[in-house]
Amino acid sequence: MSAPVEHGLYIVATPIGNLGDLSYRAEEILKTADLILVEDSRVTGKLLNHIGKKARMKVYNDHKGEHERQEILAAIGCKIVALVSDAGTPLISDPGYKLVRDARAQGAYVTTIPGPSAVIAALTLSGLPSDRFLFEGFLPSKTKARGEALAELKPIKATLIFYENGSRLGGMLADAVANLGDRRAAVIREITKKFEETVTGSLQELSDRYADEKPKGEIVVVVGPPGAVEPASSTDIEAALREALTRLPASKAAGEVARTLGADRKELYELVNRWKADEQ
């Protein structure tokens, strides 16, 4: 690099898949660093091998004790210390904020080397509104807690972004339909990797697709804001209502279709009663 690197803490974004996405500046900082704080030394070791660097690595997370954090803070005061995650931008659903907070509190030099982020990459791939969004990270694994978390997000007029894994994807999408209503959405996995895939549709369509499928790889789910689903036709609504009536009593069938297709529950219930009257 043209100028000497100042002692301090460098938050370094690393590739989320394709190693070619490592920026020149990030590579130079990693090559210069006296110490690299990592989530997993095996993962970061592969990246360092790619750039031909052997470095001292230390596993760091926010659960480390105060004594260990103080040792790292002392190093930050006199050495070049880089903080990385396994992939993407550190601190985004990853450990590190406590270290940044304490480094700033002691007056250390702290800066970021921006770069890849699965959150932003997925948002750009989704085709959903990007002017306002909320990153929620991983939802709770238990259905009840997950439903409660989604219900809190329902009124937010913004695109919602979640991380998920393949084994939980079907359940998460089903809960999203039940608690958010049917909206436009995208399931995006393996961003920048060989098998990158973006699947778009309504939440209901995606829920049906992944009910039994457990896709591999890193997964991001992007859900459009309220009103981001294409309005269903009257034919589709009536068909959905008749199907629901084969499983549910009239009031619950009307509620389900109203919730998933954005129709008026009262009008659907009245329609069911008219159908019953016509059959008599």
> Considering only CA atoms, which of 125, 155, 149 is closest in space to residue 137?
149
How confident is the model over 218-269, as pLDDT tens digits? 999 999 999 755 567 888 888 989 988 998 999 888 888 887 777 788 899 9
Contacts of 273 (CB under 8 A, 6+ apart): 250
How confident is the model over 66-112, as pLDDT tens digits? 788 899 999 999 999 999 999 999 999 887 888 999 999 999 999 99
pLDDT at 65 over 60: yes
Contacts of 157 (CB under 8 A, 6+ apart): 132, 225, 226
53-62, 79-88, 150-159: least confidently modelled range: 53-62
pTM over cut 0.75:
yes
Sheet holding 8-12, edge to edge: 57-59, 35-38, 80-83, 8-12, 110-113
Contact between 223 and 200 (Cβ < 8 Å)? no
